[in-house]
């Protein structure tokens, strides 16, 4: 139904991380058009175990790190590079610990050691990467618009392969070489199941978003990589909504101000409705196949968990409603506006947020979504202003006059 594998274990940033593993591991270069692709996978198990596995043998550590002080220093350093995990109370195991791919050698695949076989070498095996990233990878590489595809390739090359590697890259490369990796590129049997493209607007939305994010030359690479990962997560939520049968599509009502109770309740309702519609969609799509209740729960879990990770809802648990966190606003703005261009704020709200993403914020969107019968229009006008304040505060909105607010990234005069 969604054309890709969406599962709660792989929620949040994992699809983005998987995507980057594909981008950097492909044996035929960045985003190959040849369908059959093999990838080289790296486990980064040494560095991950150094941070989170107390059973890592001292002799293995000594092969890589000169002394105890070096060991402690590198451990502390690596801890800062871990992917932030929501909703965990215990210390994560090393196989759950992933590094955020700030630089190319920090990108890695899932790896683990079989239970009870601590002496064994780590193996590369899908655990949190379940195929959503492979799906995004295929959407990008099977782009019928060759000009856009080649621009995305070029910008990804520039992003991950700069003229001069950073000190972090040198360090990460050394650490990665001490872990397990594929000596020969291997075929991935999950990726090849999501190669069929529907050629619809939803795929175009993702490609355009990625194109725009990568086009912002003035932004630091870290911001672009974070936004690429976040946009991948946000887009998968949009896929989850808009690839349901049309009668089950949900308008996500965002509460940007947090002051109006009616809006808050409407937002809570729309979130519940979305999760319910996902369940109904799955049930109608199952047909004769057998999927357990737990299986359906896992698919539902993907959306709730990803919404929380992408900062599109207030919290993972408790009374939840749609709202924007800074990382969500940043990813959406970068994906909406190409470099060196301005987009009127109204256009951003109506044509991008609502028409493309189905996010209801302003009055016009609320009117189109038929919400003004139940809620007062001024609530959405105020909501719109609150979002404008937030976008303005992160420096992505330029207010020229009472009537003109333009969404833009950086200095539009910087060419």
Q: What do you get for the CA distance between the two ends of the chain, in Å?
A: 42
178 binds another protein (CB under 8 A): yes
69 binds another protein (CB under 8 A): yes
170 binds another protein (CB under 8 A): yes
Q: Report the nearest approach of another protein to the CB of residue 412 (Å).
A: 10
The answer to whether 279 touches 297, Cβ cutoff 8 Å, is no
| Torsion (CA) 5, 8, 13, 19 in degrees, nearest 10 | -20
The answer to whether 21 touches 41, Cβ cutoff 8 Å, is yes
- Give 164 or 317: the residue with its C-beta nearer to another protein: 164
Number of residues that bind another protein (CB under 8 A): 49
The answer to whether 31 touches 23, Cβ cutoff 8 Å, is yes
Q: Which range binds another protein by CB under 8 A, 89-97, 113-121, 164-172, 286-294?
A: 164-172
Among 33, 166, 284, 297, binds another protein (CB under 8 A): 166
Among 159, 239, 364, 406, binds another protein (CB under 8 A): 406
- Give 27 or 158: the residue with its C-beta nearer to another protein: 158
Q: Which of these, 301, 160, 153, 167, lies nearest to 237 by C-alpha position?
A: 301
Q: Report the nearest approach of another protein to the CB of residue 410 (Å).
A: 9
- Give 165 or 182: the residue with its C-beta nearer to another protein: 165
401 binds another protein (CB under 8 A): yes
Q: Report the nearest approach of another protein to the CB of residue 261 (Å).
A: 16
CA distance 99 to 47: 9
Among 33, 35, 79, 280, binds another protein (CB under 8 A): 79
Collect contacts of 34-38 with beta carbons under 8 A, ≥24 apart.
35/192, 35/195, 36/187, 36/192, 37/187, 37/188, 37/191, 38/185, 38/186, 38/187, 38/188
The answer to whether 88 touches 73, Cβ cutoff 8 Å, is no
167 binds another protein (CB under 8 A): yes
**Token duo for residue 311:** 């900062």
**Token duo for residue 183:** 């000596």
310 binds another protein (CB under 8 A): no
Contact flags string 202-231 toward another protein, x per CB under 8 A: ----------------xxxxxx--------
Q: Report the nearest approach of another protein to the CB of residue 123 (Å).
A: 23
77 binds another protein (CB under 8 A): yes
- Give 301 or 410: the residue with its C-beta nearer to another protein: 410
Q: Which of these, 69, 17, 24, 75, lies nearest to 51 by C-alpha position?
A: 75
64 binds another protein (CB under 8 A): yes
Q: Report the nearest approach of another protein to the CB of residue 277 (Å).
A: 32
Contact flags string 96-135 toward another protein, x per CB under 8 A: ----x-xx--x-----------------------------
| Torsion (CA) 355, 361, 366, 369 in degrees, nearest 10 | 40
How many CB atoms neighbour CB 220 within 10 A? Answer: 9
Q: Report the nearest approach of another protein to the CB of residue 357 (Å).
A: 22
| Torsion (CA) 288, 293, 299, 303 in degrees, nearest 10 | 130
Q: Report the nearest approach of another protein to the CB of residue 44 (Å).
A: 15
Collect contacts of 256-260 with beta carbons under 8 A, ≥24 apart.
256/323, 256/324, 256/361, 256/383, 256/384, 256/386, 256/387, 256/390, 257/382, 257/383, 257/385, 257/386, 258/323, 259/382, 260/379, 260/382, 260/383
Q: Report the nearest approach of another protein to the CB of residue 414 (Å).
A: 11
- Give 101 or 133: the residue with its C-beta nearer to another protein: 101
393 binds another protein (CB under 8 A): yes
Q: Which of these, 369, 389, 366, 368, lies nearest to 378 by C-alpha position?
A: 366
Would you tell me which residues interact with another protein (CB under 8 A)? Answer: 63-67, 69-70, 73-74, 76-77, 79-81, 100, 102-103, 106, 164-168, 170-171, 174-175, 177-178, 218-223, 326, 330, 378, 390, 393-395, 400-404, 406, 413
């Amino acid at each position: 139904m969604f054309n890709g594998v969406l599962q709660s274990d792989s929620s949040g940033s994992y699809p983005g991380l998987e995507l980057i593993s594909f981008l950097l591991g492909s044996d035929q270069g960045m985003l190959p058009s040849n369908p059959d692709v093999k990838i080289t996978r790296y486990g980064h198990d040494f560095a991950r175990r150094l941070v989170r596995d107390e059973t890592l043998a001292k002799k293995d550590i000594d092969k890589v790190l000169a002394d105890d002080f070096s060991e402690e220093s590198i451990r502390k350093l690596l801890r800062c590079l871990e992917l932030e995990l929501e909703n965990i109370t215990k210390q994560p195991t090393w196989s759950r610990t992933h590094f955020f791919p700030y630089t190319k050698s920090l990108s890695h695949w899932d790896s683990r050691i079989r239970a009870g076989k601590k002496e064994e070498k780590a193996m590369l095996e899908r655990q949190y990467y379940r195929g959503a990233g492979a799906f995004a990878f295929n959407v990008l590489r099977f782009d019928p618009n060759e000009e856009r595809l080649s621009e995305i390739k070029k910008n990804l090359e520039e992003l991950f392969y700069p003229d001069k590697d950073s000190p972090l890259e040198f360090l990460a490369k050394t650490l990665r070489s001490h872990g397990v990796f594929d000596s020969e590129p291997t075929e991935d049997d999950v990726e090849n199941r999501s190669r069929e493209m529907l050629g619809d607007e939803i795929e175009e939305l993702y490609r355009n978003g990625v194109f725009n994010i990568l086009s912002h030359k003035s932004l630091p690479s870290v911001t672009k990589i974070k936004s690429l990962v976040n946009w991948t997560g946000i887009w998968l939520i949009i896929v989850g909504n808009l690839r349901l049968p049309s009668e089950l599509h949900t308008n996500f009502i965002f509460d940007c101000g947090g002051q109006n109770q009616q809006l808050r309740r409407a937002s809570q309702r729309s979130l519940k409705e979305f999760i319910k519609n996902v369940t109904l969609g799955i049930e109608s799509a199952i047909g004769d196949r057998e999927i357990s209740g737990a299986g359906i729960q896992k698919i539902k879990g993907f959306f709730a968990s990803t919404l929380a990770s992408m900062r599109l809802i207030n919290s993972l648990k408790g009374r939840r409603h749609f709202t924007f966190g800074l990382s969500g606003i940043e990813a959406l703005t970068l994906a909406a506006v190409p470099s060196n261009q301005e987009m009127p704020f109204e256009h951003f709200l109506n044509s991008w947020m609502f028409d493309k993403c189905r996010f209801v914020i302003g009055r016009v969107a609320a009117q189109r979504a038929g919400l003004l019968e139940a809620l007062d229009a001024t609530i959405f006008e105020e909501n719109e202003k609150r979002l404008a304040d937030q976008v303005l505060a992160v420096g992505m909105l330029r207010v020229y006059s009472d009537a003109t607010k333009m969404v833009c990234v950086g200095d539009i005069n910087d060419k």
